[in-house]
Amino acid sequence: MKKIIITAGLLVSILFRTNAQSKTEESTDYEKRTLKVDEINFVTSYYHQEGDRSAVTGGIGTEKLSDYANSFDLKMSKYDLKNRLHTFNIDLNIDYYTSASSDNIDPRTISGASASDVHFYPSISWSVKNPKNRITQGLTYSFSTEFDYNSHGFTASWAKASKDNNREFSIKASAFIDKATIILPIELRTGTTGSGRGGSQDTRPRNSFTAAFSLSQVINERLQVMAIVEPSYQEGFLSTSFHRIYFTDNTEGIEKLPGRRLKLPIGLRANYFFGDNLILRAFYRYYMDDWGMKAQTVNLEGSYKITPFISISPYYRFNHQTAVDYFHAYKENSPTSAYYSSDYDISGMNTNFYGSGFRFAPINGVLSMKHLSSVEFRYGHYTRTTGMVANIITMALKMK
């Protein structure tokens, strides 16, 4: 982790030096088309949760988990000979987590297959905006890996703005091609099949295909709205192999869920500008899928400028969801059922997430460092009616 932070720091200093040089050489049209750094973001956070409804132990037992996340985001742009704006984004993300619940995959050892692990998920994207036809097109590739899966993601996007730029319609299509490693609870393993990190391991495909359609509209100088529809389809191994099931007859098995899932979220966003100092952002989403889950989410966030350089942003999110058809609590699943799960993530529950952010963005830069344009701190508290409680602290630095 220390090496990564040092490397990121060196990269930032080199990029700033390059950017400064390019700004002093903007005397000709050709030089204005050189690639420049627009923005660099670094985000670090600490997340911790507690609970006693772990799916690893059949719907009972500790859900204790801690996660240290770091994200480095680099945004660059350039104009081509046709005056089209090309934007490039490189995003590097790395999480280190410790999980007492996952450690119970193999409680006989000091450390199970995912008692602690690193989740690495970089992405790279490119988009081009044509000012003549007001069309923006883009491509993204992403990769994600941790102890029990790896994923390759591909996204294509297209958007067209109206002549007055008050309306925009966009389409996005994504495909995520995953491989899940089959890791069984220790007592259900035979030979080396379904073992932890060592031995031969079976893998299964898990693929997701998502589309997103959005229409945004500026109603007036104060109100902006957006409608979003995001259908998705998943296929393959959608269960988690180390989630135990304790049946009504006291026998034991592992989670079994259908190999296909259709999801349909429909959302509406609205931003209202009360003036120079106050913005209110609201979001509502209705969700349903063919596993029987239905959910509604409401999110509210305000941003208030205390001074021209200091702002606070309190937020609140409420979610209500019903359980999927295949969920039952500890020792309530029937061994004769076609599918079964005791994972409380897909149970019926209400959740609350609230907190606030504090942002400092002085004109001359934070602590007089002109390239460090803003620093933000956020705190959030999350609760579920299943008993799980979590807290997250985040710091974000923006450099221009």
Among 164-178, 240-254, 313-327, 361-375, whose mean pLDDT is lowest? 361-375
Write the DSSP symbol of residue 324. Answer: P
**What is the pLDDT confidence band of residue 365, given thresholds at 50, 70 and 90?**
confident
pLDDT over 90 at 229, yes or no: yes
pLDDT in tens, 274-291: 988 999 999 999 999 999
What value does the mean pLDDT of the chain take? 89
Percent of the chain clearing pLDDT 70 (strictly above)? 87
Q: Per mean pLDDT, which of 95-104, 333-342, 361-370 is the most reliable?
A: 333-342
Q: Which pLDDT does position 190 carry in this prediction? A: 79
Among 169, 167, 176, 170, smallest CA distance to 157 is for 170
pLDDT in tens, 305-321: 999 899 999 999 999 99
User: How far apart, in Å, are the Cα atoms of 278 and each of 9, 271, 275, 303?
Assistant: 35, 11, 6, 6
pLDDT in tens, 57-99: 999 999 999 999 999 999 999 999 999 999 999 999 999 999 8
Tell how strand 389-399 and strand 149-161 pair up.
unpaired
Q: Which pLDDT does position 172 carry in this prediction? A: 98
pLDDT over 80 at 101, yes or no: no
pLDDT over 50 at 18, yes or no: no
Report the C-alpha gap between 344 and 388 in whole angstroms. 10
Contact 39, 400 (CB under 8 A): yes
User: How far apart, in Å, are the Cα atoms of 277 and each of 130, 272, 299, 305?
Assistant: 33, 12, 20, 5
pLDDT in tens, 25-56: 444 444 457 889 999 999 999 999 999 999 99
Q: Which pLDDT does position 31 carry in this prediction? A: 46
Type of residue at 158? W
Residue-by-residue DSSP string for 224-247 = EEEEEE--EEEEE--S-TT-EEEB
pLDDT in tens, 233-274: 999 999 999 999 999 999 999 999 999 999 999 999 999 999
Sketch out the chain's domains with CATH numbers. 43-399 (2.40.160.40)
Report the C-alpha gap between 313 and 302 in whole angstroms. 5
Contact 23, 314 (CB under 8 A): no
- Which pTM does this prediction carry? 0.86
- Full 3-state SS string of 146-192: ECCEEEEEEEEEEEEECCCCCEEEEEEEEEEEEEEECCCCHHHCECC
Q: Which pLDDT does position 109 carry in this prediction? A: 53
Write the DSSP symbol of residue 323. Answer: P
Report the C-alpha gap between 114 and 57 in whole angstroms. 14
pLDDT in tens, 153-168: 999 999 999 999 999 9
- Per-residue pLDDT, averaged over 129-154, amounts to 96
**What is the pLDDT confidence band of residue 108, given thresholds at 50, 70 and 90?**
low
Q: Residue 62's beta-bridge partner residues?
A: none
Tokens 């599918």 locate to: 339
Structure tokens at 287: 């969700």
